[in-house]
Structure 1
Amino acid sequence: MKAAVYYQNGGPEVLKYEDVPDPECHPKGVVIRVEAVSIEGGDTLNRWHGALANKPHVVGYQAGGEIVQVGSEVTDLKVGQKVTTVFGAGSHAALRAVPARNAWPVPKGFNIKLAAAIPVPFGTADDCLFEFGHLKSGETVLVQAGASGVGVAAIQLAKRAGATVLATASSNERLERLKPLGLDHGINYKTDDVAKSVMKLTHNRGVDLVVDPVGGATLQGSLLSLAYRGRVSMVGAAGREAMTIDVSSLMAGNRSLTGVFLGAEIGTDRAHNMIQRLIDEAARGELKVVIDRTFPLSEAAAAHAYIESRQAVGRVLLIP
């Protein structure tokens, strides 16, 4: 099969388009013919400095497609069924093998390209807001990196839950594109101090919850944006900066900082059912999956470079 692979960590240029052996089907797994790869933030981080399980290494968490092979012990999935999948690696390929537990059925008629972009960003956003963020109706939320996959999902989910939604992005144009999703107030972090802007918008109260997929220096701004008893759900290191922060403001205001990693619980019934619910809601038109651009799988390097240019709003897909 064809795949986007690399032999060493580095920038997008390390990705090459090559032939690699087809994956084998585990008795408790399935093999899908990939129709759409949703490039996740973790994919670019793994390419940059993650471990290489094999050489050549096929990176990638998330992809959707059609089941072409089912393991002997799998009873709830069948050949020909459309699913979206999540696994530690292997999405950037024409075929991928995953445990059956890591495949979610896609409702008939729902675009597989949209379904492919749901589990990780929407599941992560849901956990940041509700499971760990304890969001309640009437509260105010700040979504850092609002134009990211997690950001786009968090804005919608928070607004639907009755929150006032603030978000940051790198340009006014990107912020404008977020308004139809439920954004109430946008902050251009290139031109404005985020914490000061938050305090101005909230009449010096601060926000009840921050969803922060960036980390680094951005995380400090998240902490300084909190109201009394405010919470931060920290979910990533997209900024690729050291996590050197002053947490003294937490104690003074009875505030909290929680790390969130969907992968730690993705195999639980709770997380599995939550992701299926989000897929079904998107299929009914209750949530919007935003696809910024698509690239051929053969142009994976260009797709990764585009993501790292911070121009995208929503997800970037690879099509085998």
Structure 2
Amino acid sequence: MKAAVYDNPGPPSVLKYVDMSDPVCGRDEVLIRVEAISIEGGDLINRRSTSQAPRWVVGYAAAGLVVSVGKDVTTRAVGDKVAAFSMQGSHAELWAVAASRTWLVPAGLDIAKAAVLPISFGSAHHSVITRGGVGEGETVLIHAAAGGVGLAAVQLARQAGATVVAVVSGSERQTRLIELGATFVVDRMQHDVEEEARRLTNGTGVDLVIDPVGSTLQASLSALAPEGRLVFLGNAGGGKLDVDLWQPMQNNQTLHGVFMGSIFERPSVHGTVDNLLAAAAAGQIDVVIDRSFALEDAAKAHEYAEAAKPLGRVVMTL
């Protein structure tokens, strides 16, 4: 098979498109002929910082056709179209993944959108609904709102009846964010996010903050109302996750950490992703793809995902 690999971590240029041995399907796995790959934020972080073996195949998310099933697998069959998540290996023509980490793709759903949805919308739902407990009439501030998780969070928060404050870098995407459900869009390059959160809530602060950036955690806490909730689910900013906890203690605020890699197989979470895939197929949510590349152009795709500030996800297709 062909795959995009690297020997040592570094910039996008470390990725090479090479021939590799086909993966072997384990007894509890399915072998997928990959059709679309979603480039996740974690893929970029891992490529810059992690290499566990020569010719390392990075990648969390993809979708495609099941071509083989392990002898213990009863829930999937050859010919199924599935979306999949695993901690490594999606940047390839073939991918062996635990069957429990796959979801059937509903009829009518574009395969690239199916590849994107589990991590972006699964993470957003767990953050906004399950952990964040957003309620009708509450105000939610969402950092990195133009990213895959951010755009999903905007839609889910608005559908739950919340007022949505979307934080972005640059105001050129404001119209699209409002179309997707943002009530207000704050350009963090032009405005202080905490001050805007206070102004838009008449000095009270927001009820919930969704923060996938990490370096913004202190500002997120400062934007919260008393008894507000902060859900942090990543470190896209790349800095230390250091915050002063005296303020949230005094204000009776709650902090939730979300890491989806360890809970996707939990029945409630797995079933939620099934429901979200069905909602996407029915046109009830919008999985936004900024640009598509061929797998052989993985270095260019990673460079674009890092440098271009895409609206939504960047995908690769085969």
User: What do residues 113-153 of structure 1 show as CA deviations (whole Å, max 9, x unaligned)?
Assistant: 11111001101001111211111111110010000110010
Distance in 1 separating the partners of 2:52 and 2:32 = 20
- In structure 2, the residue corresponding to 1:118 is in which secondary structure? helix
Tell me which amino acid in the other structure corresponds to 1:194: V
CA distance in 2, matches of 1:189, 1:272: 34
Q: How does 1:189-204 map to 2 (within 5 A)?
A: 189-204=188-203
Q: Which runs of 5+ in 1 are unaligned?
A: none
**Paired amino acid for 2:304:** Y
Offset of residue 310 of structure 1: 4.5
Partner of 1:277: 275
Q: Which of residues 202, 223, 226 is equivalent to 1:225?
A: 223
Please give the secondary structure, in 2, of the residue aligned with 1:117: helix
- 2:171 alignment counterpart: 172
Match of 1:314 in 2: 312
1:190 and 1:302 map into 2 onto residues whose CA distance is 27
Q: CA deviation at 1:174?
A: 2.0
Shift, 1:109, TM fit: 2.1
Query: What is the aligned partner in structure 2 of residue 86 from structure 1?
Result: 85
Distance 1:130 1:110 in 2: 24
Deviation at 1:247, TM superposition (A): 2.5
Q: Within 1, Cα distance between the matches of 2:173 and 2:277?
A: 25
8 Å contact 1:147–1:175 — kept in the other structure? no
Q: Residues 165 and 182 of structure 1 are in contact (CA less than 8 Å); yes or no, is this contact kept in structure 2?
A: yes
How far residue 243 of structure 1 moved from its aligned partner, in angstroms, is 1.8
Q: CA separation in 2, counterparts of 1:282 and 1:53?
A: 35
Distance across 2 between alignment mates of 1:201 and 1:175:
17
Give the structure 2 partner of residue 264 of structure 1: 262
Counterpart contact for 1:83–1:103, Cα < 8 Å = yes
Choose from 274, 285, 288 the match for 2:286.
288
Helix, strand or coil for the counterpart of 1:287?
Answer: coil
In structure 1, distance between residues paired with 2:74 and 2:9: 38
1:254 corresponds to: 252
Amino acid at match of 2:77: K
**Map of 1:1-320 to 2, 5 A cutoff?**
1-50=1-50, 52-216=51-215, 218-320=216-318
Identity of aligned residues (%): 46
Do the aligned residues in 2 keep the contact of 1:168 with 1:175 (CA within 8 Å)?
no
Counterpart CA distance in 2 for 1:87 and 1:223 is: 32
Q: Distance in 2 between matches of 1:56 and 1:42?
A: 18
Deviations 1:75-99 (A, max 9, x none): 2211111100000101111110101
How far, CA to CA, are the matches of 1:263 and 1:284 in structure 2? 27
TM-aligned CA deviation for residue 209 of structure 1: 0.5
TM-score for both structures, normalised by structure 2: 0.98
Q: CA RMSD in A?
A: 1.0
Partners of 2:264 and 2:20 lie apart in 1 by: 28
Equivalences, count: 318
Q: Which amino acid aligns with 1:279?
A: L
Q: Secondary structure at the match of 1:85?
A: strand
